[in-house]
């Protein structure tokens, strides 16, 4: 097995996920570019290689069991193990998200990708992560999933719009992250949730005030935690985010 650190980033073809791949690649790691669209995936792999990143494409739709199983097989055949998994793929669910008027399909879409997708990918890759000397799992969450922040302020510039799908899906993701940490306590696997801050990407029609590169920093920090680092936490650049 290679001594090179092997990472897989979901939704790495653009936005914050792409910049996470750039950042992990700069550490000399081999980075699997998980992406569902073949052309977008290959374009990202080419761009990363041109930037000096040892990257490889991993066909991956986080909502599809067969696709996720295929991704795990590909990583196993290529590297024999996985050191770092970054569950970055995410969607807002789209549309109007006032609770009183919500289309349940919008909630389903957000939960299917942001929560169930993360569980599906994590469980498929856990056997490979268990072969690593220092496995790390990073779940890209959002500060809008903080119930403390949602309850404390109505200022949309800090807590986002009223959202019955996207924000609760990230709260759900945080809760799942804590449960994984409970199950994995006593192993060498550290799992944490991170918030990139409000970054200009396709997700928000580029309305964010941070760059995707700035947003990637927290994921890189959580991906490179020392063995005595935290697990089951929720972090942004400035530190711990309240649940
Ligand atoms: N931007 C922000 O301000 C912000 C703030 C807080 C948290 N976040 C979180 O950060 C993460 C990255 O967001 P971003 O802003 O970089 O968004 P983005 O530019 O829209 O990128 C999202 C990525 O997820 C992928 N994706 C979506 N559904 C997928 C699926 N079913 N299977 C595989 N990949 C899928 C997309 O692939 P396609 O290109 O195929 O659609 C794309 O690569 C998300 O989890 C988001 O919730 C973002």
- At 158-208, the pLDDT tens digits run 899 999 999 999 999 999 999 999 999 999 999 999 999 999 999 999 999
Return the residue whose CA atom lies nearest to atom 8 of ligand 1.
142
Is residue 237 very low, low, confident or very high in pLDDT (cuts 50, 70, 90)? very high
Taking the centre of ligand 1 as the mean of its atom positions, its distance from the CA of residue 203, in whole angstroms, is 6
Confidence of residue 134 (pLDDT cuts 50, 70, 90): very high
pLDDT of residue 95: 84
Chain-wide mean pLDDT for the chain? 97
How many beta carbons lie within 10 A of that of residue 63, not counting itself?
15
pTM here is 0.98
Which 3 state secondary structure label does DSSP give 34?
A: strand
Give the whole-angstrom CA distance, residue 70 versus residue 108: 24
pLDDT at 1 over 80: no
Q: What separation in Å is there between the alpha carbon of 11 and the centre of ligand 1?
A: 6
Q: What is the pLDDT of residues 58-69, one digit of tens each?
A: 999 999 999 999
- At 154 the pLDDT is 87
In this structure, are residues 211 and 23 in contact, taking their beta carbons and an 8 Å threshold?
A: no
User: How distant, in Å, are the alpha carbons of 16, 53, 59, 127 from that of 10?
Assistant: 10, 16, 10, 17
Per the CB < 8 A criterion, the answer to whether 5 and 28 are in contact is: yes
Portion of the chain with pLDDT greater than 90, in percent: 95
Catalytic residues: 166
Span from the CA of 188 to the centroid of ligand 1 (angstroms): 28
Task: Find the mean pLDDT for residues 75-101.
Answer: 97
* Mean pLDDT computed over 18-45: 98
Query: Ligand 1 in contact with 63 (CB < 6 A)?
Result: yes
Q: Which fold has domain 6-240?
A: Rossmann fold (3.40.50)
What DSSP state is assigned to residue 241? P
């Amino acid at each position: 097995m290679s001594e090179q650190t092997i990472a897989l980033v979901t939704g790495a073809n653009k936005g914050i996920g792409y910049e996470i791949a750039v950042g992990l690649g700069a550490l000399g790691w081999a980075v699997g570019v998980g992406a569902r669209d073949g052309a977008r995936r290959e374009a990202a792999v080419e761009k990363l290689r041109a930037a000096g990143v040892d990257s490889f494409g991993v066909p991956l739709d986080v909502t599809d069991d067969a696709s996720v199983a295929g991704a795990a097989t590909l990583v196993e055949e290529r590297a024999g193990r996985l050191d770092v998994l970054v569950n970055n793929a995410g969607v807002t669910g789209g549309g109007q998200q006032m609770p009183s008027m919500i289309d349940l399909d919008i909630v389903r879409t957000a939960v299917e990708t942001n929560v169930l997708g993360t569980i599906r990918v994590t469980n498929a890759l856990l056997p490979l992560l268990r072969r690593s000397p220092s496995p790390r799992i990073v779940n890209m969450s959002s500060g809008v999933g903080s119930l403390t922040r949602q309850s404390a302020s109505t200022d949309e510039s800090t807590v986002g719009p009223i959202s019955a799908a996207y924000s609760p899906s990230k709260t759900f993701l945080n809760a799942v992250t804590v449960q994984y940490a409970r199950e994995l306590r006593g192993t060498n696997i550290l799992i944490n949730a991170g918030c990139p801050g409000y970054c200009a990407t396709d997700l928000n029609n580029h309305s964010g005030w941070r760059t995707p590169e700035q947003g990637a920093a927290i994921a890189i920090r959580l991906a490179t935690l020392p063995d005595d680092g935290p697990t089951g936490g929720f972090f942004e650049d400035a530190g711990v985010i309240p649940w």
